[in-house]
């Protein structure tokens, strides 16, 4: 019984610590995920600054006559024609 437990323990230790070392899979996944997120952020910043530099500024929306009249009344100005 002791012999079987000892062999199982030896097999587990041999598998848990391979002789070659290798890469830590957690570290590999972490580096890949951080790299992708960093690439995404840099690409977004680049596109944002490029768009601000090259695209024309937005035009203001045309205000309807009804809204313009309401704004003038709020400011205390009398509308023309009344």
Has residue 54 been placed in a domain?
A: yes
First to last CA, the chain: 107
**Domain tally for the chain?**
1
Is residue 59 in some structural domain? yes
Separation CA 67–CA 75 (nearest Å):
12
Indicate the SS3 state at residue 38: helix
Cα separation, 55 vs 64, whole angstroms? 27
Per-residue pLDDT tens over the stretch 18-56: 555 688 999 999 999 999 999 999 999 999 999 999 988
Q: For residue 68, is it within any domain?
A: yes
pLDDT at site 26:
93
pTM above threshold 0.75: no
What range defines the domain where residue 69 resides? Answer: 2-75
């Amino acid at each position: 019984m002791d012999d079987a437990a000892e062999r199982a323990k030896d097999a587990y230790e041999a598998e848990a610590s391979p002789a070659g070392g290798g890469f830590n899979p957690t570290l590999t996944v972490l580096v890949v995920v951080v790299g992708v997120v960093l690439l995404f952020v840099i690409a977004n910043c680049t596109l944002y600054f490029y768009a601000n530099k090259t695209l024309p500024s937005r035009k203001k929306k045309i205000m309807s006559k009804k809204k313009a009249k309401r704004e003038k009344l709020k400011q205390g100005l009398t509308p023309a024609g009344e």
